[in-house]
Amino acid sequence: MALKQKLISASTLLMQAVGELIPLPKSVRMTLDGFEFLRTVTGYQISQAISTAKKLGLFTFLENDKSLTEIAKFLKMTEPASIVLLDPCIVARIVKRKTKNGVETYGLTDYARKIFITKYWNPQSGQVDFIDCSWDTWKDLPEVLQGNDGHAHLKVYNRDSPIILNSASMMTSMLYKPAQELAKQLDLSKVNNIVCGTVGVSMAKAMMEQKPSIDLTVCCLPQLIDILPDVFKQFNYQKEPLEMVRNTGDAKIDGWGEVNIYEMIFLIRKFAWFTPDHGIDYLNRAMTNIRPGGYVILWEPYADMYDNVPWLKSSLQLADGMLGMPAPLWTKAQVVDFVNKAGYDDVKIVDTAGGTCTFIVARVPDKKAP
């Protein structure tokens, strides 16, 4: 990007930031609003370009810098067509263009390496797949929101949903590093058995890294139990779970394995896609199956985590509306209130990953109420 273009771009961003603090002249505000509107409504084009580049293997190819000629040959495109695909990847800050000794090359940014060149599933890479495999269903959004029950093909408990495995892998990957931080803050001395769903497997792995003697039981939907071998391989599990139980997703009737009484459970997104009763049922069930003093750990993308990025909160809420009942994200305080009312003790909000991932950690009372 030429210096003049960089200055124009920087000036636009600066004006947008200033406009949040002080009133701007109407003509300037109209121009900035126009740019923001166009950026938003054309975002699908950039999204599809990134998805196309991923499908064609471009990001793996660019692990080492390549010339335009090399890229065009790899993509089986003309050089001008390759530029058309590369430019949106540059705008998205996952590809960078460099010139050295008069030779122009393209390579991945440091951020892109974390997304596309990684040992574990990466949630950002999974997000690209999520949008791609649900693309044609978004035209049904008017009917979906009016129906108040998610998209028929994408609903969370629909076994044939084309995105349920993708959605699970995104969350599983996203929670691993934050769970490693969390594990170091917990007293695991009395934790011997963990029960969780497939998405919680990465969190269980983080706990077992701190205490290898912990045993694991996995209870989840059949389609997610089916992918467990791949999940264990991705997260380098060294010992098999005690049991893998196929469930329906109804906390009132599902079995939780032969161990039955555990010291830790992860409740992940139990307050999404349904009425609050769904999450409350899981809290009540955990009170029965978790030993007194044991941990209940909840994770949600809480609304107040996105005060500085409201567009992301809006996107998450829309995606949730396609997967189940559309509703605003819960705040941390609201979920803490659910946990307190369910009768748990020592309820704490634990921020990890620089405040971008929050867990609510609670204990089952030493003396459960009759």
DSSP 55-86: HTTHHHHTTS-EEHHHHHHHHTS-HHHHHHHH
What local confidence, expressed as pLDDT, does residue 27 receive?
67
Beta bridge partners of 106: 66, 97
What local confidence, expressed as pLDDT, does residue 123 receive?
63
Asked if 176 and 359 count as a contact pair (C-beta separation under 8 A), the reply is no
pLDDT digits (tens, 9 = 90+) for 177-222: 999 999 999 999 999 999 999 999 999 999 999 999 999 999 999 9
Residue ranges for the chain with pLDDT beneath 70 = 1-30, 119-124, 368-370
List the one residue out of 203, 185, 193 whose CA is nearest residue 243. 193
Asked if 255 and 289 count as a contact pair (C-beta separation under 8 A), the reply is no
What local confidence, expressed as pLDDT, does residue 287 receive?
95
What local confidence, expressed as pLDDT, does residue 178 receive?
95
**Has this prediction a pTM greater than 0.75?**
yes
Contacts of residue 106, defined as CB under 8 A and 6 or more positions apart, other chains included, come to: 62, 65, 66, 67, 68, 71, 86, 95, 96, 97, 98
Give me 178's structure tokens.
């934050």
Neighbours of 60 (CB within 10 A): 11
Pairing between β-strand 103-108 and β-strand 66-67 as defined by DSSP bridges? antiparallel
What local confidence, expressed as pLDDT, does residue 286 receive?
97
What local confidence, expressed as pLDDT, does residue 53 receive?
95
